[in-house]
Amino acid sequence: MRLADRMSRLGTETAFDCLCRAKALECKMDVVHLEIGEPDFDTPKHIREAAKKAIDEGYTHYGPSAGLPELRAAVAKYAGALRGVHINPDQVVITPGGKPVMAFAIMALVEEDDEVIYPNPGFPIYESLIGYMGGTPVPIRLHEEHDFRLDAEELATKVNPRTKLIVINSPQNPTGGVLTREDLRLIADTALKHNVWILADEIYAEILYEGRFESISQFPEIHERLIILDGFSKTFAMTGWRVGYGIMPVQMAEKLARIQTNMNSCTSTFSQRACIEALTGPRTEIDQMLGEFKKRRDFIVKGLSEIPGFRCKLPQGAFYAFPNVEGTGIDCEVLARRILDEKGVACLAGTCFGKYGDGFLRFSYANSVENIAKALPRIRELVEKK
């Protein structure tokens, strides 16, 4: 096969590979899935009903590339209220999931040899896409002792005239770290000073356990260079519906919509109609789900911390626990593999999230307390046996 060179720079999201291996093992043993980052709850009924109604009403055709005007308006209102800022519907582009916002933003901004700073450990698709589009990925390490918050002073040392974009993610995957208002202010100052764009991945904005959500969009000076990524997958348990959105300056929204015309034409129209219901309908099931995540977080962090050689920070948001496992004396990739093969618990090595994830494991607690309770003693047995 003669493929384009860029294919050698395309990475992946190992969670999907691990899911396949774990599924294959299910014919031999009981497997607890703590690898994949998706809510185990069903999409709330009123949202499913809205999709069925939309199909019956004929929302089965192409729609505008930037998204249905009524959903763009609903997103502007909802996302603006969440962040305490005014958002114009023209600034919103609806995409098939949040991931395309990442890809499109990098496509629109990054040229050969431009540098892009991104958090590491972090969502693996940032590094993959930056390299694939010809940019140079510049990792910034998230330190456990700094609660996995990006260190703004360290960030300032990484920025140079070739830096085009800084990616931030809060609440963060895989660490559960959350940036403070002060962190965000310093990041915004750095971006402004050096004329750099920011891609703020806020997909976990509402999966936050303490305090209120702080968005970098609170600093109006940065609006001209800010792309916010958010979506429906996590908050509304809608991973399979594939609807996300970007919020950005109007001129940039026009560019992203044009990329969308080229790549996907538009986002599924009946899914978009259901998303209006998600934003405007009752919140009971969502609030219950968030309450359940908090219980699970406390349960898994306590359990993991009791395993010899593990220490685990309390995640402030998202639904991942990221324990340091260096104390076990077992390499994290070997440990993740053995926990799955020998004990039927699927989790990910920290290195799936970049080189600075070495020495850690990621457990998604988007699974029931009963299943987490089944997994914990199995992991302990393996570590104690070595």
Q: Which stretch binds ligand PLP (CB under 6 A): 95-103, 153-161, 178-186, 271-279?
A: 95-103
Which of 163, 173, 272, 328 binds ligand PLP (CB under 6 A)? It is: 173
Binders of ligand PLP among residues 185 to 224 (CB under 6 A) are 201, 203
Residue 300 in contact with residue 372, Cβ under 8 Å? yes
Per rule CB under 6 A, count of chain residues that contact ligand PLP: 13
89: DSSP letter: G
Which of 39, 67, 89, 97 binds ligand PLP (CB under 6 A)? It is: 97
339: DSSP letter: H
> Per CB under 6 A, does 303 bind ligand PLP?
no
User: Closer CB to ligand PLP, residue 243 or residue 382?
Assistant: 243
Quick check: bond before 171 cis, omega within 30?
Answer: yes
> Per CB under 6 A, does 273 bind ligand PLP?
no
Q: What is the end-to-end Cα distance of the chain in Å, rounded?
A: 43
Which of 59, 104, 118, 123 binds ligand PLP (CB under 6 A)? It is: 123
Across the beta sheet with 348-349, what order do the strands follow?
Answer: 320-321, 361-364, 348-349
Q: Which stretch binds ligand PLP (CB under 6 A): 92-100, 139-147, 149-157, 285-293?
A: 92-100
Pairwise CA distance, residues 376 & 345, whole Å: 9
Pairwise CA distance, residues 150 & 168, whole Å: 8
Residue 168 Cβ vs ligand PLP, minimum distance, rounded to whole Å: 10
> Per CB under 6 A, does 35 bind ligand PLP?
no
Task: Give the helix ranges, DSSP H, for the chain.
Answer: 14-25, 45-56, 69-83, 99-109, 124-132, 152-158, 181-194, 250-263, 269-280, 284-305, 332-343, 369-385
> Per CB under 6 A, does 99 bind ligand PLP?
yes
> Per CB under 6 A, does 37 bind ligand PLP?
yes
Among candidate residues 189, 175, 117, the one with its CA nearest the CA of residue 301 = 175
User: Closer CB to ligand PLP, residue 363 or residue 383?
Assistant: 363
Which of 91, 190, 233, 364 binds ligand PLP (CB under 6 A)? It is: 233
Q: Which stretch binds ligand PLP (CB under 6 A): 64-72, 94-102, 335-343, 368-376?
A: 94-102
Neighbours of 209 (CB within 10 A): 17
Judged by the rule CB under 6 A, the positions of this chain that interact with ligand PLP are: 37, 97-99, 123, 169, 173, 201, 203, 231, 233, 239, 244
